[in-house]
Amino acid sequence: MKHSIASVCLSGNLKQKIEAAAAAGFRGIEIFENDLLLYDASPAVVRRIAEDNNIDIIALQPFRDFECMPRQNMKKNYDRAERKFDTMAELNTDTLLICSNVSPACVDNPALAAEQFNRLADSAASRGIRLGYEALAWGRYTADFTAAWDIVKQADHPNLGIILDSFHIFARGRDLSAIAEIPGDKITLVQIADAPWLKLDVLQWSRHFRCFPGQGQFPVVEFMQEVAKTGYDGYVSHEIFNDEFRSTPTQDTALDGKRSLLWLENEMAGRAPDIVAPEIAEKAIAPPQASVSDVEFIEFATAGSARDTFLELISALGFQQTHQHKSKDVALFRCQNVNFILNQEPDSFAQNHFLVHGTSVCAVGYRTDNAQNMVSRASYFKYSRFETEARPQEMQIPGIRGMNGELVYFVESGSDHRRFYDVDFIPLETSAPVSKAAMRVDHITSGISESEFLSTSLFYRVLFALNVDQPQDLIDPYGLIVSRTATSQNKKIRLPFNMSRSGNSSTEQFRRRHGGSGVQHIAIHCDDMLTYIEHVDQKYILQIPENYYDDLEARFDLSPELSAKMRKYNLLYDESPTGYFIHCYTIDVNGLFFEIVQRHQYGNYGEANAHVRIAAQVTARQKNQN
């Protein structure tokens, strides 16, 4: 599969877009007409920039409102096309993309359209140019790729083919099986875009919410599998209109675009190797399979009096120091199966993280059966490795740089069943645990910026092979929060991530306090919540308004005993068709807070109570300020 990207996907000027696409590893780039019009250099200069960066200009696009116009307009349209052919000669590209007419002046006459395209293709052929016709989902009369294909067939010219764009096909709800009826040599170009499923005007949906494959919900793998059946062996090119991409650094977006195509071709090969694998032209070695299975540890950067405040909170939750690192100022605190590492090592990544962000999560370790494979997978998808220094007889834990400034470690589960703390740490004498309830990490939630939202989705999907759900809205007293969750098949890794366009929302307030994006919220599952909470000092628990419990009792059939206990210990409650959910939240330290949860056949996250928690946090902050 030859990888290309349209310049419209990227921020910056045309030179910056070409350079970023080439640096990311793309072999081709489509030049969007507006990018060329707004660039202060000739098409010949653009050509040289592409040549200097060893990337092909595979097409000029789009040529609009051509077919089925009144007679007086058609002469001008043919003249416009000739001017575009001149520009293409300067750019050294041989493909012009023509999108279906949206003008109210055009007429519904497929036979006439075919005749006009035949004439235009004759002219293009004399100059060594191919034409591709694309059905826009909002085209006036040609809005479906099958209608566009009928016109191309009727025109019957070797220099005219069809453009297949996944967005326009899915936006129209078309059956993909019709793609197989098109011969591969009649497909001029395949354009690929993902998107969330939204009930919007299709033009607004297209202009603002397209995204790279793997960042949305469209069945893009199935689309490409159908394309592969045609025998098409040309470029697959991103064409993405997205507000976030226009505000994201050019190089970062281009890298994500490359990652998404690497992911797409490997998903294709994995699902249907007999059809797809022989067609993959890049010959890249497929990455090892993702193998993360659980959260092994969460590492915090802290120091001085901030450490004392943080220790006070986690000690109240039942954490005790059980181990001390052999050679570093690193302590391990445990509560049942939850491992918290507190890192105060001077001149370390953790301490640099603390200086920037204060007390915060600086790393998360994930359990895997092959750590080096996970690092190799990360390198394949162009994520940066992080090298740590291990002394003799200490475990070398490979890692990469994560999305939000923290590190991601891969901790291998050895055949001898020894854990990382059995190798690198010295055990300490500890008292009996306050609670014997089984506990484990339930989910880890990050607060991120809007510009990181889609990149984070891609990171979890391509690297960890997690399922990333549809975005959902959470109500905040000062705005709206958009949330997605990445989840492993075994449900042991759950990673929600939130962003908000509202400057005073809880997510943005956290990011200001934290000095950027990062982990905001850690949820710990407890299998006996009602007994556990009796041992937790309520001064560390977020206070919930009494009105919440009045409403709760009206909505659910709670026993008087349960209702009384929930009021006493500031517990929240939710039900699903299959089970129930009890949870509570702690006060925060530097914007970071904990949640204790108990699930009983309940797969959600207590979203129904999110607005209650956020409002209670606002009230708590206001009280502290006063």
Binding residues for a divalent metal cation: 134, 165, 191, 239
Phi-psi region of 601 (alpha: psi -120 to 50; beta: other; left: phi over 0): left
Place of tokens 């199935």: 222
Determine the residue type at 514. Answer: H
Determine the residue type at 461. Answer: R
Beta strands in 139-221 (DSSP E): 160-165, 187-192
Q: What share of the chain is helix, strand, coil (3-state, %, to 5)?
A: 40, 25, 35
- In this structure, the strands spanning 95-99 and 56-63 are parallel
Identify any residues that bridge with 476 across adjacent strands, giving them in sequence order. 479
20-24: long-range pairs with CB below 8 Å, 24+: 20/250, 20/251, 20/253, 20/254, 21/53, 21/55, 21/254, 21/257, 22/50, 22/53, 22/54, 22/55, 23/53, 23/251, 23/254, 24/251, 24/254, 24/255, 24/257, 24/258, 24/382
| 177 touches 229 (CB < 8 A) | no
Q: Is the dihedral of CA 529, 535, 541, 543 positive or negative?
A: positive
b/e 297-307 (16+ beta carbons within 10 angstroms → b) = bbbbbbbeebb
Q: Give the angle subtended at the CA of 531 by the CAs of 525 and 534, to the nearest 5°.
A: 105
Nearest-angstrom CA–CA distance, 388 and 299: 14
Place of tokens 């006036």: 140
- Which of 340, 317, 342 shows the shortest CA–CA distance to 330? 342
- The gap from C-alpha 564 to its chain's centroid, in whole angstroms, comes to 42
Beta strands in 139-213 (DSSP E): 160-165, 187-192
Binding positions are 134, 165, 191, 239, 443, 521, 595
Place of tokens 């220099």: 159
- In this structure, the strands spanning 494-500 and 292-301 are unpaired
Count of C-beta atoms within a 10 Å radius of residue 211: 27
Burial class from Cβ neighbours inside 10 Å (0-12, 13-18, 19+) for residue 625 reads: exposed
Binding positions for Mg(2+) are 443, 521, 595
Nearest-angstrom CA–CA distance, 365 and 451: 25
Count of C-beta atoms within a 10 Å radius of residue 198: 16
Give the DSSP H or E segment for 582: strand 580-585
Q: Give the angle subtended at the CA of 141 by the CAs of 139 and 144, to the nearest 5°.
A: 65
φ, ψ of residue 234 in degrees (nearest 5)? -90, -160
